[in-house]
Amino acid sequence: MQIDVLTLFPEMFDSPLSHSIVKRAIERKKLSLELIDFREFSQDKHKQVDDYPFGGAPGMVLKPEPIFEAVDFLKEKRKELLEKCEFPLIYLTPQGETYTQQIAEELSKKKYLAFLCGHYKDVDYRVREHLVTREISIGNYVLSGGELPAMIIIDSLARLQEGVLTNIESAYSDSFQGNTLDGPYYTRPREYRGYKVPDVLLSGNHKMIEEWQKSKRKEFTEKVKGAHDV
């Protein structure tokens, strides 16, 4: 999977993409990421990318030209991956549809995606009208830019790429997979500070263990019903 990210702050991505599962996905060539600083596409002599909103409103708006130019560059660069398909540009915004594991699964199957990280008040609406194909929010709160949401989504896509997780079972039993939350896990020692691992897990009775795990998943799901869309 190839993912391109249009951002004014490419350095923000350095650390999150160079650890753990995302790092492994990149090393195993299951995921390739390119960060495009769209300030470089500004025609302005000061490389300005934002301006005051027409009609007056607080805050600055990202100008359309650098974003349109950067997308033209990517359309040419990714010609073969696009195969005459529409350029898939996802804009991260609190106004978008709320991200879920279901959307993660859908997106993880794509060969190519581009993310646009906004900043300041918003992007010029013409970008959203004529370039953006999907708008995604990671939750009902406002962040200062689309970089963190993009990283969160990239992480969720990296771990769904085939051959990235060592034990694919662990992805299947994750929370939201099959619309329920995952249950509790315990490891050694059997007792710590007087806190004991539930007897059933040490019983060796697989049927009973399975039933217990199922009931715990149900209990966890019920507990947060309403807080999650499950």
Contact footprint for ligand ADE (CB under 6 A): 92-94, 137-139, 141-143, 146, 149
Would you give the distance in Å from CA 197 to the centre of its chain? 34
CA angle 185, 188, 191 (to 5 degrees): 100
| Cβ-based nearer residue to ligand ADE, 143 or 209 | 143
Cβ at position 45, least distance to ligand ADE in Å: 29
Residue 71 near residue 95 (C-beta atoms within 8 A): no
In the numeric block, which tokens belong to residue 141?
Answer: 């709160």
**If DSSP codes are grouped into helix, strand and coil, which group holds residue 7?**
strand
| Cβ-based nearer residue to ligand ADE, 7 or 221 | 7
| Cβ-based nearer residue to ligand ADE, 132 or 165 | 132
Spatial distance between the Cα atoms of 211 and 222, rounded to a whole number of angstroms: 16
Cβ at position 62, least distance to ligand ADE in Å: 12
In the chain, % helix, strand, coil (3-state, to 5) comes to: 40, 20, 40
In the numeric block, which tokens belong to residue 67?
Answer: 């974003």
Residue 137 near residue 97 (C-beta atoms within 8 A): yes
How many CA atoms, within 13 angstroms, populate the side-chain half-sphere of residue 178? 14
DSSP line for 101-149: HHHHHHHHT-SEEEEEE-BSSEE-HHHHHHT-SEEEESSSS--SBSHHH
Cβ at position 119, least distance to ligand ADE in Å: 9
| Cβ-based nearer residue to ligand ADE, 143 or 197 | 143
| Cβ-based nearer residue to ligand ADE, 88 or 146 | 146
| Cβ-based nearer residue to ligand ADE, 3 or 165 | 3
Cβ at position 133, least distance to ligand ADE in Å: 16
Cβ at position 76, least distance to ligand ADE in Å: 27
Cβ at position 170, least distance to ligand ADE in Å: 27
